[in-house]
Amino acid sequence: MNIIKSFVFLISLSFLVISCGKNTPKAESQSNTNNSNPKTVVQYKSNSDYLTIADVEKVSGLKRIKIVPYDASKGAGGDLNFATSDNKLVVMANFLGSSFYADYKKQNGYFKKDISGVGEEAFAGPKSGPEYVLVFLKGTHCVTLSSFFNLGGDSNSPTMLTMDQLIALGKIVSDRM
């Protein structure tokens, strides 16, 4: 009897180990801010496969970029958060379900103008002030790329990245999806 229990335990453990393997697609649940039903995106790659440090350095011209962990209290509220070596946040990326795209576009204040050449559809925002958000739709994904404000910087730009630079990063991410 103990041999049978041990055998069943080992088989169960084997299935658990196999199901936790690195190559298994992972569904990530993302919920809307108005507490509606969760919207899900099935993610077959790691988010860091879509956008890398090298990509941000190349497009921005900045050196010694690093990924910082999620910490909304420090402004790093994205799925990917890129910062300078002295922890000055540069850009964050969020990967959401495709239904979020329409939600963002409908929100008062977000949509300023359509952007062509990124994903299936894209727009920039916010409606007033400097543009610092690019939102695009690609397949089952809605991706947001947000530049941080250039506080105390020596650049003429109010944001760490221009809209042209966000668009260039958006094209990179879209091409990899």
H/E segment holding residue 134: strand 133-138
Q: Specify if 99 maps to a domain.
A: yes
Residue 144: partners with Cβ closer than 8 Å, 6 or more residues away? 78, 93, 94, 96, 104, 133, 134, 135
Read off the pLDDT of residues 54-84 as tens digits, 9 standing for 90 and up: 999 999 999 999 999 999 999 999 999 999 9
Q: What is the residue range of 90's domain?
A: 24-176
Q: State how far the alpha carbon of 50 is from the alpha carbons of 33, 36, 37, in Å.
A: 25, 28, 27
> Which band of pLDDT confidence, cut at 50, 70 and 90, is reported for residue 93?
very high
Read off the pLDDT of residues 104-154 as tens digits, 9 standing for 90 and up: 888 867 788 989 999 999 999 998 888 999 999 999 999 999 999 987 766
Q: Specify if 53 maps to a domain.
A: yes
What is the Rg, in whole angstroms, of the alpha carbon atoms belonging to the chain?
A: 20
Q: Specify if 118 maps to a domain.
A: yes
What is the chain's length?
177
Helices (H), 61-109: 99-106
3-state secondary structure (DSSP) of residue 163: helix
Q: Specify if 82 maps to a domain.
A: yes
Q: Specify if 5 maps to a domain.
A: no
Q: Specify if 8 maps to a domain.
A: no
Please give the tally of structural domains in the chain: 1
Residue 75 corresponds to which amino acid?
Answer: G
Read off the pLDDT of residues 9-45 as tens digits, 9 standing for 90 and up: 333 322 222 223 333 233 333 333 333 334 444 444 5
The CA dihedral of 70, 79, 63, 162, to the nearest 10 degrees, is -120
Rounded to two decimals, what is the model's pTM? Answer: 0.72
Read off the DSSP letter of residue 129.
S
Q: Specify if 15 maps to a domain.
A: no
Q: Specify if 48 maps to a domain.
A: yes
